[in-house]
Amino acid sequence: MHRFAALIALAMRLGDLFVLFAAASIAYGYRFGHFELSLEYQQVVARGALLTLLVFGSSSVYRSWRGLSLSLEAFHVAALWCGVFALGVAYNLVFKVTGANSRLWWGVWFLAATTGSVAMRLALRGAAAWVRTRGLDLRTAVVVGSGSDASRIVHTFDHNRWAGIDVHGWFSTPVDQGQIKGSPHLGSIDALARYVADHRINQVWIALPMSAQDQINQILAALDQCTADIKLVPDLFGIQLLNQSVDQVAGLPVINLRASPLDGNARLLKAIEDRVLALLILIMIAPLLAAIAIAVKLSSPGPVLFRQKRHGLDGKIIKVWKFRTMHVHAEAAGQVTQATRDDARITPLGRILRRSSADELPQFFNVLRGSMSIVGPRPHAVAHNDHYREVVDNYMQRHRVKPGITGWAQVNGLRGETDTVAKMAARVEYDLYYLQNWSLVFDLRIVALTICKGFLGRNAY
């Protein structure tokens, strides 16, 4: 359920606008005895809506509040409403329209808007707390370390179930000297990566002194192939020395060392981009899809579509659709042989489809289903992932986003067979660059480059 955080943020944006309009009507009814605003008051409310979008949108009030203090958020919301109404009053002063509106209406409008906005968040928090205390919408976590900070993390989340973080236990390091009472000891840091992978842990909390840099580096290296978020809980002296800003979760200062580049509003924006573009493209290429399907069926015996298991977001298994380009054949269990130049398994029609990348057009249905994106790291066969994750640094970090039909690596010529570790490492390097620099404009640029030069390639066979 936590993946719908972006939708909740959007609902809160719309809710604040609704509160603004409702509060204006309530204030008007209180002042004038009826709720139908006159034209001049409608104009004031419209300006207030624009100011709300500007002021609230430029703040952090719509980010995830999991674990944040309600009183702090209420103060933040009240301060933002003060900013909105201060700008509205300033507008009236500059353009000398102060006499056109009732001061009582302004005051009631401000109080009602602030109260309604805080009440909306209180209700949302209550609903979330009710859900989380019943075991839903939880994020799993483990703690590394057993000092006072580590103990505080475990006990804080145990006593604040509304935060929605379920701590499985803790891992010890050579610098630890104690135990965390009431929490399972899961082993040493040598067992950390395996446990995180096997139990699909969402977060790893490192609670070590800043002087334990060697252990922190060892932990990061061990988790290279894991997609869990990694958070560091530093001591106060470390914070001062580093002069770093921190987030707070349930009152705990944390530094995000690794996190998904697509979260919150970015996740929602990319989802809308994918669905809209995929639907438009499928409508345009429907006749082409039908023609290719008929040609594949007539070219050789076997199904039209080929479904292959690949790793998707967070390393989960998905089934990627392609037009069949090979004669039907059997692979050894657990083995996937990459296509090579002059591969005898490929049909004559299949060579054309592969060269033009037309065999990948059914993946737009994967995009509509939500298992893929139009732009992202290309998905590799599961067997290839299992091999390269052991020999290419940060290989699994590319699975922090959904795999794509096209990607930054592909438009830069890194397509086709990856018969050497160096080729795969180069592809991963481009994928990681995409993750670090994602934007909607970057996505559209990659789509444009794919249309111009990405469909045809000498390495695609």
Please tell me what DSSP assigns to residue 381.
Answer: B
CATH architecture of 139-258: 3-Layer(aba) Sandwich (3.40)
* pLDDT-based confidence at residue 67 (cuts at 50, 70, 90): low
pLDDT given at position 9: 78
* pLDDT-based confidence at residue 240 (cuts at 50, 70, 90): very low
Name the token pair of 251. 């009152």
pTM of the model: 0.61
* pLDDT-based confidence at residue 7 (cuts at 50, 70, 90): confident
Alpha helices per DSSP H over 264-338:
265-299
Measured from the Cβ of residue 77, the count of other Cβ atoms closer than 10 Å reads: 20
Q: Per-residue pLDDT tens for 84-97?
A: 998 888 887 777 76
Element (H, E) at 229: strand 229-232
Burial 187-217 (b: 16+ CB within 10 A, else e): eebeebbebbbeeebbbbbbbbbeebeebbe
Name the token pair of 224. 């290279």
CA distance 255 to 253: 7
Cα dihedral sign, 395-397-400-405: negative
Q: Per-residue pLDDT tens for 22-60?
A: 999 999 999 998 888 988 899 899 999 999 998 888 777
User: Is 316 a residue whose pLDDT tops 60?
Assistant: yes
Domain boundaries, the chain: 2-132, 139-258, 265-454
User: Is 244 a residue whose pLDDT tops 80?
Assistant: no
Q: What is the CA radius of gyration of the chain?
A: 27
Over range 4-23, report the average pLDDT: 85
User: Is 298 a residue whose pLDDT tops 50?
Assistant: yes
pLDDT given at position 97: 65
- With CA atoms as reference, report the closest residue to 27 among 136, 112, 98: 112
Name the token pair of 104. 């009582």
Write the CA distances from 268 to 138, 180, 397, integer angstroms.
Answer: 20, 39, 21
Grouping H, G, I as helix, E, B as strand and the rest as coil, residue 359 is helix
Name the token pair of 323. 């037009």
pLDDT given at position 268: 82
User: Is 399 a residue whose pLDDT tops 70?
Assistant: yes
Q: Chain-wide mean pLDDT for the chain?
A: 83
User: Is 1 a residue whose pLDDT tops 50?
Assistant: no
